[in-house]
Structure 1
Amino acid sequence: MVSATDALAQNPDAIYSTYETYNGSDLEMTLNASGTHFRLWSPSAQAVRLKIYPTGRNSASEQTIEMTRDKNGTWTAGIPQKLYGKFYTFQILHNGKWLDETPGVWAKAVGINGNRGAIIDFDATNPEGWDNDKGPTIKNINDAVIYEMHHRDFSMHPSSGIASKGKFLALTEHGTTNPKGDKTGIDHLKELGVTHVHILPSYDYNSVDEANLPANTYNWGYDPQNYNAPEGSYSTNPANPSTRVSEMKEMVKALHDAGIGVVMDVVYNHTAENDGSNFSLTAPGYYYRHRPDGSYSDASGCGNETASERQQMRNFIVNSVKYWAKEYHIDGFRFDLMAIHDTTTMNEVARELKKINPDIFVYGEGWTAGN
């Protein structure tokens, strides 16, 4: 008879099924009247440090706090002040080694290049009229006329007539034309009869150096870093965490005011980094599928694939799209390589999103890029 210990040794992935999961709404940083609160899900950590910084990069930590093990695999810490304007990271002790610092997997605002989480007032990022903002209604999904666009491609050309080239704000400019007088930008989308724009990945991704935008580094954005914060290179000031949030909301509202919905391209099937990803730096191994020899399974063709069938990863995907739908009023989601995800997760995604907005829709690629 094989003991439980031997079974785990023969199948390392089996240990992940023993982890308690946590689906509370207070991952990983929340604020209330009593201060700033942190809760990190890291069931295999031996210890966890929370570090508070004055800036998004190039500064020493102001505080280092030892977090306390709490329920369901989480670690907690609290500071009795609202730390608006500060930045934070977590660092876990795993198998006797301190891993690199990470903003966690749930950072909703980040500093430049996304290496530190940021503490901002989200209410202050809402444009005027945001409480009443709403996308268009369509009776059937096949009534949607969807225009796929990349923020840079859409407005960067010198003849676009758009001032905020390559930025979220490009889609807020009306009256723009090319030298021949043809409409460009949002006015062109309206004259085409577009009902929805499908924006390529707009979360914080890995490949563009936000500290050196004049270099004009280009990528489509299918290399996720921070899933729940907007990409800084599409904002006018990547160093200010509030700017990327407020400008993305301004873009969404401008499109809604023009009668156009916003579909967001999401890439939960893999991450840009393997061992160095925020997933790996908070719960090593858990969020990914692995081959029997321990190497990363690679159905994405990008070096790894996430394990949506594991409860904490399923919770992450579902809660992440719900967050974008609520905080940014996103009208639909296009899932990259959706076939990598299990059907239970995808059905839960659709079901939970419909509760928020009955007109929201979900579609994606019904294939994988590798075995």
Structure 2
Amino acid sequence: MIEDTKTGVWSVVGDTSLKGAFYQYQVTVYHPESKKVETLTTTDPYSLSLSVNSKYSQVVDLDDPATQPLNWENHSIPIVKNAEDNIFYETHIRDFSSDDLSLSEDDYRGKYKAFSEQNSEGIQHLKALQKAGLNNIHLLPTFDIATVNEQSSKVVSLSDTVENAKAKVCDIKPYIKLCTEKYDDKQTLKSLLSSFNVSGTEAQQVVSELREFDDYNWGYDPYHYTVPEGNYALNPQGISRLVEFREMVQSIHGLGFRVIMDVVYNHTHQSGLEPNAVLDKIVPNYYHRLHPITGAIEQSTCCDNTAVERVMMAKLMSDSLVVWARDYKIDGFRFDLMGHQSKAAMLAAREAVRAVDSDTYFYGEGWNFGEVANNSRFEQASQLNLGGTEIGTYSDRLRDAVRGGGNNTRDSQGIGNGLLMQPNERLSQTNSRQEYELRMDQLRIGLAGNLSTFPLKQQNGTQILGKDIPYGDQPTGYALDPADTINYVSKHDNQTLWDNSQYRLPFDVSTDNRVRMHLQSLSFILFAQGIPFLHMGSEFMRSKSYLRDSYDYGDWFNRVDFSKQNNYYNVGLPPADKDQDNWPLIKAVLKGHQGRDHVQAKHIEFSANVFEEMLALRMSSPLFRLTTANDIIEKVSFLNTQNEQLGLLVMKLDDTQGQVADDHVDSLMVIFNTKTEAQTFAYPGASEYQLHPIQQNSVDAVIKQSKADEKGFTVPALSSVVFIKY
């Protein structure tokens, strides 16, 4: 390679014989880790194709038909009119199909190919969700990651027999439980795990000891940013994985969804002279953020933090995003720990992507922590800084109001799991009243798009705005536009919504009411202004058996049953590494709930159907998806903020105010009743409303009991009801 001394760029020009060639770089460079000049062999950080396990880069032209499935260039991509019309469904590629027995080929489980099935249970469910209004599939990281062996013959799967699994691991780790205990060698690992006592520690021990050998990881461990991960391909070698990835994208588009990709530009898996380091071998100490005194690479994100404030790291991020948008037809991007990147770099990257895809959407985690906290290195891409940009950030405000504060605890509750209305034995109505009033105000601001300028109520002659409601030491409302806010109550991180609620709910709540409360928690995000974000399987009351962080704990804790028979609750204590300190509390709540926390197939089916109705309700009117802060301020109001009826939150969406958003609807009244008994909200004009047609025809017989008459609106217990006035 020859260096251009004016630009510092090294390049080589070859002939067509290089097409498809595998290559590496050999770099002679002084490396601060060894404090000497090293001759290092590494792959290309700008790789577009790779060999198995990323040992070699490959020369490839992404416009070559050999890298594309049939009709790739001409396939149609669904359009979403406004950013606020998006609904995101967070999906892990392996979770989607690892437990699906209806696939046409067993080999497709956990692979890109599962999304190209026609009639599998997973695909049928996606079709039902799309029909109801879901429009985006968000894929957890699917770029090249460093932590799963891409040679399927070398990894351990739940479908392996004990004998096969032993053959793969016992020479390397002879002292683990699988290799020292006498088990039936002919049974599968799944069968073995099923045989263990769910209150014991055996299942989590086996899963934990096998996790470095298994076929599972969330993928937040970047190796090469701009190549599809080979572990999800039937053939990970070279261009085959590119074709399979593109086929998946094409198939998801064909189902009627846009495709969002989870990206992780804030850190790399390794640095220095480590085997999986790439950037730091080519220009040591440049691509990573260094501690200003020690010079060590910062690791506040978990791993080796990159420095996107440096020109070439920002360029790498931007160039990579353009490839995904232009060459892989990715419709938007979710950024891991986006607050560790600068606002300027994010805005510049979005402009670069918009040049090839005008309707892309960016969102991510705008958390403020670590060495960059409080804009100490640059203006961060964080919650409080991104207001008005229409780069979305997750709102922990609405989340905590609904779920309760903290994780793995019984010491707090949220509006969605009994706060004040059904206190558990550690709480009381007396000490919960102040917390309840604050959470209700935080929830109202969340329902109003988390706007800093939203006028919530008058207090002592003063107008209280969204920014005036506290969230710890920060304002609750920080958005300036509804597209600034991503509303959620669960995602891959932390416990699932179901597990979080079982930690907190009173022991005497019936199974049916637990299901109703679960659905009500989801209704808060589906009926809120801003953009909803849904965790795959939450409509099935998905459980991870209380596991707090399932990133590398295999199919046993991460699977989803699209046949709707099982939510995989209480399949064994969660792994000790993450949750051993929580085992006593988990055992206590499991005992206290006395089986009322276990759902049956009928509950899962009911929940899935009501979830689809709520999706359809959201998409039935633009009033749920207003596109400007001014529209929200004009049309959205909360009617019981002064003389509050406990357990009742009343939101009016009034289209007689401001510019008309919905030609067919005069106004909507959305009433959330979190009490265990029906309540009536007195309202003079209630008789002009009727129960929304979708709920008139609901599978939920309880919802159908809702009434609008001269007395007001009557709403059943634990129900979120929409009334409509034409």
State the TM bucket, normalised to the shorter chain. Answer: 0.7 to 0.9
The answer to whether the 8 A contact 1:186-1:255 is kept is: no
CA distance in 2, matches of 1:159, 1:80: 48
Structure 2 length-normalised TM: 0.40
More helix by percentage: 2
Larger radius of gyration: 2
Structure 1 unmatched ranges of 5 or more: 1-66
* Aligned match for 1:215, one of 140, 156, 170: 156
SS in 2 for 1:100: strand
Relative distance call for 1:340 and 1:355 in structure 2 (3 A) is: same
Segment of structure 1 superposing worse, 324-333 or 134-143: 134-143
Q: Which structure is richer in relative contact order (CA contacts within 8 A, separation 6 or more)?
A: 1
Partner of 1:146: 88
Segment of structure 1 superposing worse, 80-89 or 284-293: 80-89
* Aligned match for 2:224, one of 204, 222, 226: 226
Shift of 1:286: 0.4
Partner of 1:55: none
Shift of 1:323: 0.7
SS in 1 for 2:45: coil
Partner of 1:282: 282
CA distance in 1, matches of 2:39, 2:156: 31
The answer to whether the 8 A contact 2:350-2:362 is kept is: yes
Matched, 1:173 2:117: yes
After the TM superposition, which residues 247-258 of structure 1 pair with which residues of structure 2 at under 5 Å, given as runs?
A: 247-258=244-255
Shift of 1:134: 3.9
SS in 2 for 1:363: strand
Shift of 1:80: 3.0
* Aligned match for 1:132, one of 59, 63, 74: 74
Deviation track 1:99-133 (CA, whole Å, cap 9, x = no partner) reads 43111210000001112101235311222222223
Relative distance call for 1:152 and 1:185 in structure 2 (3 A) is: farther
Relative distance call for 1:75 and 1:128 in structure 2 (3 A) is: same
SS in 1 for 2:339: helix
* Aligned match for 1:117, one of 57, 64, 67: 57
Partner of 1:91: 26
Shift of 1:144: 0.9
Shift of 1:75: 2.0
Aligned length: 299
Structure 1 length-normalised TM: 0.76
Shift of 1:192: 5.0
Relative distance call for 1:159 and 1:106 in structure 2 (3 A) is: same
Matched, 1:202 2:142: yes
Matched, 1:310 2:317: no
Shift of 1:190: 2.9
Shift of 1:227: 0.5
The answer to whether the 8 A contact 1:155-1:162 is kept is: no
The answer to whether the 8 A contact 2:48-2:60 is kept is: no
After the TM superposition, which residues 331-370 of structure 1 pair with which residues of structure 2 at under 5 Å, given as runs?
A: 331-368=331-368, 370=370
Query: What letter is aligned with 2:248?
Result: M
CA distance in 1, matches of 2:285, 2:128: 47
Shift of 1:247: 0.7
Relative distance call for 1:195 and 1:358 in structure 2 (3 A) is: same
SS in 1 for 2:296: coil
Shift of 1:73: 1.4
CA distance in 1, matches of 2:42, 2:305: 20
Partner of 2:327: 327
Matched, 1:265 2:225: no
SS in 2 for 1:259: coil
Partner of 1:161: 103
Deviation track 1:83-106 (CA, whole Å, cap 9, x = no partner) reads 233210002111253343111210
**Aligned residues: percent identity?**
35
Structure 2 unmatched ranges of 5 or more: 31-35, 158-213, 372-726
CA distance in 1, matches of 2:221, 2:94: 16
The answer to whether the 8 A contact 1:204-1:230 is kept is: yes
